Amino acid sequence: MDEPLNRKQSQLQTCIAGLLGMGLMWLAHPPVGFSFLAWIAPLPLLSLVHRNQPLFRRDYVSLWLIGALFWFVALSGIRHAHPMLIPAWIVLAAYLGIYTPLFVGLTRVAWHGWRMPLVVAAPAVWIGLELARGYALSGFNGVMLGHTQANLPWMLQIADLGGTYAVSAVVMFVAAAMAVCLHCRRLSGTELSVVTARRRQVHAILNGSAVLAATLGYGLFRLSEADTVVSPEPMLKVALVQRDVEAVYEYSERRELETARKYFSGSRDAVSADPGVQLVVWPESSYTAAMPWRVLEDDFTVPADAGVTRSEIIAGVRDSQNIFQRRAADIQLGLTAASGRTQPPSLMVGCSVLRYVDGPVQAFSGVVTIDPTGKVPAWYGKRHLVMFGEYIPFANWFPWLYTVTPLQMGVTPGDAPIVADVKGVKVLPSVCFETMVERVTNRHLRQLASEGKPADLVVNVTNDGWFDDSAILEHHRRCSQLVAAAHHTPVLMAANGGPTVSIDSSGRVVGSLPHQDESFLIAAPQQDPRVSFYQRVGDWPARFATLLCIALAISGCRGWRRRKKQLPLPSVESPADPIGDAGSEPPLV
């Protein structure tokens, strides 16, 4: 039996375990990307779960600070966007840091109090917290444990059963099995007989090996299946245009026009290199050029201070639409001349959209689809907005907030996902971090499928130039890979500054451009007829894990309150574990 630790000794051990565990976790993610370290990174944190002595409050505070440090470094690219976002970066890191002590504390309740095997408790708590993180405070799905395996296609295929959560669960299951082996070895000959310890080690090794082998076997089967069922002919030939235009908050008509010229030049180069291009994609906001697409609803009202009549607004919007479409036709005429073909390509472009409704005019960060005749058959308004990037919390009640920040106005969230028909291919447009907050694109794909309009292809337009060549670009790409693998749907990304990438329906990168390169990528996505189990059932398995986390938190708090009432006031050496063990002896594995 280990000697009881005092506060300083406990905190020292906790800090060492936390720094080692979260340090390995950072090395497993971009920019380093040593994916094999993800399998052992949880071990130091799981050693804290195995500790028989309850943790002190300062231990949990230390874990929170270490977790915040991990996120502070992992999301350091935020500082490139604007100096005024540095406080938001710090606050975000502090918030996300909470999940580290929550994982340790809730897993301790499950293992010590509920006597749940560690190989069940650790994965369940981990993915339950990952899902909670994807919804809380508008949601953030980047830097998930499963993303560390994005470059290993045979590991990604299990995502079609449970999304990224399934990949995370497998990695954590194997890590927990290794933790059980190490724990039994430590107890061998003391609290456990040598025979019992070895038997439990063998069981843990067999469990971990079986889950890993099943995952790899399933992945190889799915990859082999894709070779036979995926159409060998491309659905479309798509030109993804990338430029490296400086991203700034301040509006400038001249800058917008220059940006559009750069992307037109890149589009002309693309169709000259491959005249078979049928769709040209420009990144987020790159097409606007001081001329947003305007939409007029039947029930729109004229603001009292507008100074114009209803008929004048209608005429103005109609004129604006005609000018917009004439400009589109001129661009397509230039592309037709460059390609030497008679049929111009369709365009799918990131463009601002203004909608006149019964109330204030709504502004959207949009994707506008332009057919070969220069007409606009469909547009999509971004639904998941970036806090402090596209809106400021509470600014609806305090509009003056926009006067003291670089963000000059807020953006309206879109109504619903759409599918744009391009040459008979059903394309789901998405904007910016809608693929990084995976639940957004996952929900869109499921919703469209349930409405009888399943998407054949996802096209994401984004401006990640805000973050220069930081790790955030790689995190975004990995999220998109998992979306593709989870739904067996190819994903194309056209980005200012990168990542511009073509991802097949198995989550594999089949083409990409270097970050900050000014070039184009010709993508030929292939149709995959498979419908994944994950698309049918959604996040429900992970939601049950989140419910388990809530139950564990309630159980831990009740146990702490019960002990607080029964015990005298704590001395200097007495532990105070608000969500530690629930009172019973822990299972030995």
* Residue 107 structure tokens: 């897993």
- Give residue-wise pLDDT tens across range 75-98: 999 998 888 889 889 999 999 999
pLDDT beneath 70, residues of the chain = 1-2, 394-396, 398, 400-409, 563-589
* Residue 464, domain CATH: 3.60.110.10
- Claim to verify: residue 420 and residue 458 sit in the same structural domain: yes
Q: Can you say how many angstroms the Cα of residue 179 is from the centroid of all Cα atoms in its chain?
A: 28
Where are the strands (E) in 247-361, listed by range?
279-282, 293-296, 346-356
User: Which of 484, 502, 528 is at the close of a domain?
Assistant: 528
Q: Which amino acid is at 416?
A: A
Residue 584 lies in a domain: no
Please choose, from the candidates 459, 455, 446, 381, the residue with its C-alpha nearest in 3D space to the C-alpha of residue 425.
Answer: 455
- Claim to verify: residue 67 and residue 192 sit in the same structural domain: yes
Residue 498 lies in a domain: yes
Helix (H) or strand (E) holding 244: none
Residue 248 lies in a domain: yes
What pLDDT does 304 receive?
Answer: 74
For strands 519-523 and 420-422, give the pairing: unpaired
Helix (H) or strand (E) holding 465: none
Question: Would residue 375 show up in a list of annotated catalytic residues for this protein?
Answer: no
- Residues 63 and 101 sit within 8 Å (Cβ to Cβ): yes
d(CA 291, CA 283): 16
Report the DSSP beta bridge partners of residue 364: 353
CA distances from residue 491 to 342, 343, 504 in whole angstroms, order as listed: 29, 25, 7
Residue 226 lies in a domain: yes
- Preceding omega of 499 cis (within 30 degrees of 0): yes
Identify the active-site residue in 284, 390, 434, 474: 284
Question: Would residue 181 show up in a list of annotated catalytic residues for this protein?
Answer: no
Q: What is the DSSP letter of 535?
A: H
- Residues 445 and 265 sit within 8 Å (Cβ to Cβ): no
- Claim to verify: residue 374 and residue 345 sit in the same structural domain: yes
What pLDDT does 567 receive?
Answer: 53
Query: Residue with structure tokens 């004129």?
Result: 319
HEC letters along 247-276: CCCCCCHHHHHHHHHHHHHHHHHHHHHCCC
- Claim to verify: residue 197 and residue 261 sit in the same structural domain: no
User: Which of 528, 549, 573 is at the close of a domain?
Assistant: 528
What pLDDT does 248 receive?
Answer: 84
For strands 238-242 and 279-282, give the pairing: parallel
- Claim to verify: residue 405 and residue 266 sit in the same structural domain: yes
- Residues 93 and 75 sit within 8 Å (Cβ to Cβ): yes
Residue 385 lies in a domain: yes
User: Which of 507, 528, 549 is at the close of a domain?
Assistant: 528
Identify the active-site residue in 181, 184, 432, 549: 432
138: how many CB neighbours lie within 10 A of its CB? 13
- Residues 512 and 522 sit within 8 Å (Cβ to Cβ): no
What pLDDT does 224 receive?
Answer: 96
What pLDDT does 82 receive?
Answer: 83
Q: What is the total count of domains within the chain?
A: 2
Q: Which domain range does residue 311 map to?
A: 238-528
d(CA 262, CA 277): 19
What pLDDT does 130 receive?
Answer: 97
For strands 425-431 and 420-422, give the pairing: antiparallel
- Claim to verify: residue 404 and residue 324 sit in the same structural domain: yes
- Claim to verify: residue 207 and residue 311 sit in the same structural domain: no
Residue 280: left (phi > 0), alpha (psi -120 to 50), or beta?
Answer: beta
Residue 22 lies in a domain: yes
Alpha-helical runs (H) found in 97-193: 99-108, 118-135, 153-156, 159-187
Question: Would residue 382 show up in a list of annotated catalytic residues for this protein?
Answer: yes
What pLDDT does 568 receive?
Answer: 53
Identify the active-site residue in 184, 382, 438, 479: 382
- Claim to verify: residue 176 and residue 106 sit in the same structural domain: yes
- Claim to verify: residue 242 and residue 226 sit in the same structural domain: no
- Claim to verify: residue 178 and residue 199 sit in the same structural domain: yes
What pLDDT does 394 receive?
Answer: 65
* Residue 193 structure tokens: 């007989």
Residue 131 lies in a domain: yes
- Claim to verify: residue 50 and residue 173 sit in the same structural domain: yes
- Claim to verify: residue 270 and residue 208 sit in the same structural domain: no
Torsions phi, psi for 67 (to 5 deg): -60, -40
Residue 438 lies in a domain: yes
d(CA 580, CA 560): 8
- Residues 331 and 287 sit within 8 Å (Cβ to Cβ): no
